[in-house]
Amino acid sequence: MNYREILDKIEIQLEGEAHLDELAKKKQDPFKILISTILSARTRDANTRIATEKLFAKYDTPKSIAEADIEIIEQLVKSSGFYKVKAARIKEVSKVLIKKYNSNVPDNYEELISLPGVGSKTANCVLVYAFQVPAIPVDTHVHRISNRLKWVKTKNPLKTEEALKNTIPKEFWLKLNRLFVRFGQQICLPLRPKCEICTIRDTCPKDFSMEEAIKKKKKTSK
Ligand code: SF4
């Protein structure tokens, strides 16, 4: 099976949309996509949705967030977890956007990654979801599934990003995160993947060696 066939087969079994995809389809501005991505770190889509809706109902521009009271921002984004860190981060990012970019979000990786608290995954999410620039945001789902499929053999998301870019034809980059995030939430779950109902079960090598190595390491370090 080639990449196109695998991605098509994955897509037909998925329901709903991931949060960033919803924003992209509603053509939300790049600032909202950047802030949503920062708020989405280490939390579920449902929590990010609540936090972003509350925040943007009150403050939805770099200026309004930069000038807002940090404690009010903290309360608005509380549902996203790590809310104190995230509130400080989005306020700081807003200030830098005003100062360096005339309140606009840059549309290239180098400038995005230079923003405070913006890592590779966030920068790539903004490129894909806000600007439709081909990139591969690698979160925990993309990292895990790419290893299970043996598309890569890597130990961390950064290495996975590098390896995927060398492996996957560019025409599929824009859809990879969009599909794998939902696939990882609905079928190829972290703990009990639903292989018995998965549409690619016959061709998937089901390589769990990366996860087993992590479990083993955790056990021996206890
Ligand atoms: S067969 Fe199992 S491991 Fe392979 S992609 Fe499907 S759910 Fe994931």
pLDDT score recorded for residue 9: 97
pLDDT score recorded for residue 22: 86
Distance from the alpha carbon of residue 48 to the mean position of ligand 1, in angstroms: 26
Distance from the alpha carbon of residue 206 to the mean position of ligand 1, in angstroms: 6
Confidence of residue 32 (pLDDT cuts 50, 70, 90): very high
Q: How far is CA 220 from the centre of its chain?
A: 31
Mean pLDDT value of segment 200-204 = 96
pLDDT score recorded for residue 217: 84
What are the tens digits of pLDDT across the range 81-98? 999 999 999 999 999 999
* Residue 113 φ/ψ, nearest 5 degrees: -70, -20
pLDDT score recorded for residue 17: 85
Question: Would you say 37 and 206 are in contact if contact means Cβ atoms under 8 Å apart?
Answer: no
Tokens 């390896």: give the residue: 163
Distance from the alpha carbon of residue 173 to the mean position of ligand 1, in angstroms: 20
pLDDT reading at 117 higher than 80: yes
Is residue 58 within 6 Å of ligand 1 at its C-beta? no
Which among 11, 29, 166 is positioned nearest to 103, based on CA atoms? 29
pLDDT reading at 221 higher than 80: no
DSSP structure string for 154-190: -SSHHHHHHHHHHHS-GGGHHHHHHHHHHHHHHTS-S
Mean pLDDT value of segment 164-172 = 97
Distance from the alpha carbon of residue 149 to the mean position of ligand 1, in angstroms: 8
Is residue 143 within 6 Å of ligand 1 at its C-beta? no
Q: What is the pTM of this model?
A: 0.93
Handedness of CA 201, 206, 211, 216 (dihedral sign): positive
pLDDT reading at 191 higher than 80: yes
**Could you tell me the domains of the chain?**
3-14+136-214 (1.10.1670.10), 19-131 (1.10.340.30)
Distance from the alpha carbon of residue 117 to the mean position of ligand 1, in angstroms: 33
C-alpha to C-alpha distance for 9 and 56, rounded to whole angstroms: 36
Question: Would you say 49 and 209 are in contact if contact means Cβ atoms under 8 Å apart?
Answer: no
C-alpha to C-alpha distance for 59 and 103, rounded to whole angstroms: 14
Is residue 198 within 6 Å of ligand 1 at its C-beta? yes
Pocket probe for ligand 1: among 14, 202, 206, 207, the residue whose CB has the most ligand atoms within 8 Å is 206
pLDDT reading at 23 higher than 90: no
Q: Which range is least confidently modeled, 144-148, 186-190, 208-212? A: 208-212
Is residue 193 within 6 Å of ligand 1 at its C-beta? yes
Residue 56 C-beta-side C-alpha neighbours within 13 Å: 16
Q: What are 105's two structure tokens?
A: 């979000």
